[in-house]
Amino acid sequence: MKKLGFGLMRLPLLDRTDDGSIDLEAAGKLVDRFLEKGFTYFDTAWAYHAHRSEAAVKTLLTDRYPRDRFALATKLHANFLRAPEDRDRIFNAQLEKTGAGYFDRYLLHGIGGLSYPKYLEYDCFNWLREKKRQGLARSIGFSFHGMPELLDEILTNNPDLEFVQLQLNYLDWESPWIRSRECYETARRHNRPIVVMEPVKGGTLARLPEEAERLLKSCAPDASVSSWALRFAASLEGVTTVLSGMGSLEQMEDNTGSFDDFQPLTSEERALVFRAAEIVNARTAVPCTGCAYCVEGCPRKIAIPQYFSLYNEDMRESLETKGWTANYNNYILLTGKFGRAVDCIACGQCERVCPQQLPVIVHLKRVASHFDGV
């Protein structure tokens, strides 16, 4: 199986203010091209695209292609568990929504310090093993958003889990919050195959500051900026799959092109991407990946990832000379449907579910000061 996987959480939309409005026609063209080029791995989850990604799988894949033509992964998230019976309720609904019959890979989703106790409370690891015994989950593992010490504990206590999905990219490699390198080294120490998520960090590593882009282009003028991030992740020993969300045919062609004749990064190229990371980190106000886990439970329905993205864009602009940017208009457009940043009541729900462990409330106050003037 080729290393590139299609992450189905950033599909093209009919309405950019509605994450559930998947443009099935456009998405179908992406799926067709992905398979046409010899790639087979698709990754979704219960909550992606406002709970509509798995249903899109049926429309885009299982209704149109033989089951042995593709591999499908999905996940069980602790946030949706209120009782032990919820495990089977969700799993059976996923089978029905996708029409897949079975899952090639099934994961416990986004394990971290706060969610891990619930997975233990509801005996999810043994439940996962039972799904494998039933043949409904061909391979079992988990995605992880926590510290390497917890990862070591889980892998030690569950030696039969077959893979782990980690957030690995050159921007987070030495991050004190994500600790990508240490998590990677922990998985390698346990000899577990690794699936990579967020290799381009929600698009951050596809749009670098001019200085960082110039640095990479000086080495490979014809290579896209995002291809460097994908190659970094895929070059790591033990990595079997690199997931990337793709919302356009242009992204599809670029990403698959990086894997058609894959070339691992050289030591000199690794040094360049780490230099680029230093430049990006110095200019990124809020290191949000846009996963949107924070949005669903927000009592004020604040479009947190979108506001952070607009704020980051403005922080990269020369505001002293421009005075105004289009991001202000985009902010007002979003507030017609969502709560404003200033509406935050500091309940902390967003911070409890943030995989990046961001101080979301503090950042929202900065956004409110910038766009709402308070």
Least confident of 10-19, 79-88, 169-178: 169-178
**For position 321, what pLDDT does the model report?**
45
81 has pLDDT over 80: yes
State pTM to two decimals. Answer: 0.83
Q: How confident is the model at residue 322 (pLDDT cuts 50, 70, 90)?
A: very low
Q: What is the mean pLDDT of residues 231-257?
A: 97
Residue type, 315: M
**Which ranges of 190-325 would DSSP assign to H, the alpha helix?**
210-219, 225-234, 249-260, 267-283, 304-316, 319-322
| Token pair for 367 | 């956004």
Identify whether the C-beta of residue 229 lies closer than 8 Å to the C-beta of residue 199. Answer: yes
Helix-strand-coil split of the chain, %, nearest 5: 50, 15, 35
| Token pair for 213 | 């882009």
Residue pLDDT, tens place only, 85-106: 999 999 999 999 999 999 999 9
C-alpha dist (Å) from residue 34 to 2, 251, 252, 347: 11, 11, 7, 42
Residue pLDDT, tens place only, 303-315: 999 999 888 877 7
Whole-number mean pLDDT of the chain? 93
Identify whether the C-beta of residue 185 lies closer than 8 Å to the C-beta of residue 150. Answer: no
**For position 296, what pLDDT does the model report?**
86
Task: Say which residue the tokens 């010899």 belong to.
Answer: 38
Share of the chain above pLDDT 70, in %: 97
Q: How confident is the model at residue 113 (pLDDT cuts 50, 70, 90)?
A: confident
275 has pLDDT over 50: yes
Question: Who has greater pLDDT, 71 or 317?
Answer: 71
Question: Who has greater pLDDT, 374 or 369?
Answer: 369
**Which ranges of the chain would DSSP assign to H, the alpha helix?**
24-36, 48-51, 53-57, 85-98, 116-121, 124-133, 148-157, 180-189, 210-219, 225-234, 249-260, 267-283, 304-316, 319-322, 326-335, 349-353, 360-367
